[in-house]
Amino acid sequence: MAMKLNINGKAVEVAAEPDMPLLWALRDVLGMTGTKFGCGASFCGACTVQLDGEPVRSCQTPVSAVGTAKITTIEGLSASQWGRKLQDAWVALDVPQCGYCQAGQLLAAEALLRSTPKPTDADIDAAMSGNICRCATYTRIRAAIKQAAAS
């Protein structure tokens, strides 16, 4: 069935089963592959997107449950001022190794900075520990969040 979604500020129609997770509607139906499949069970955070600014696990979010909430994915992150700052810090500090988790990391970090513009290490731990980086680039993720916060 066709559902109307708001993705990165645009109205999009998606033809999908209502219980299809948003992750697969984005990746396979709409061809927006920036959002990543990691575990399919909300353990790893690779599939993190934002609904009305809140980070959610798109692998556990049925597309029919999104309703009118505004979806932000990695493809739309640079529309946010914090998003751009984070992207620039990620590039400048050379955060990625394989890079696969970084979309989810960035969406989680953007939500953190919007609510907590000057995060402490404990704030970063609390906001980011749901997002696994298998290459363990945590030292640089932490530094990049702080750099973005300071800029």
Q: Which residue has the tokens 């907590």?
A: 116
If one asks whether residue 72 binds other proteins (CB under 8 A), the answer comes out as no
Cβ–Cβ contacts within 10 Å for residue 94, how many?
A: 10
Q: Is 99 in the site for other proteins (CB under 8 A)?
A: yes
**β-strands 70-72, 2-7: how paired?**
parallel
No. of helices (H) and no. of strands (E), the chain: 5, 5
Question: Residue count at the site for other proteins (CB under 8 A)?
Answer: 63
User: Segment 3-62, which members bind other proteins (CB under 8 A)?
Assistant: 16-17, 20-21, 23-24, 27-29, 31-41, 43-44, 46
In the numeric block, which tokens belong to residue 15? 């033809």
CB of 54 to other proteins, least distance (A): 19
Nearer of residues 6 and 138 to other proteins, judged by Cβ:
138
Q: How far is the CB of 146 from other proteins (least distance, A)?
A: 13
6, 60, 97, 147: which one binds other proteins (CB under 8 A): 97
In the complex, the smallest distance separating the C-beta of residue 3 from other proteins, rounded to whole angstroms, is 14
Contact between 114 and 82 (Cβ < 8 Å):
yes
Given candidates 52, 67, 125, 150, which one binds other proteins under the rule CB under 8 A?
Answer: 125
Closest distance between other proteins and the C-beta of residue 103, in Å? 5
CA nearest to 141, candidates 90, 77, 81: 90
Q: Does residue 75 contact residue 8 with C-beta atoms inside 8 Å?
A: yes
Beta strands in 35-148 (DSSP E): 48-51, 54-57, 70-72
* Contacts to other proteins by CB under 8 A: 16-17, 20-21, 23-24, 27-29, 31-41, 43-44, 46, 73-75, 77-78, 86-87, 90-103, 106, 124-126, 128-142
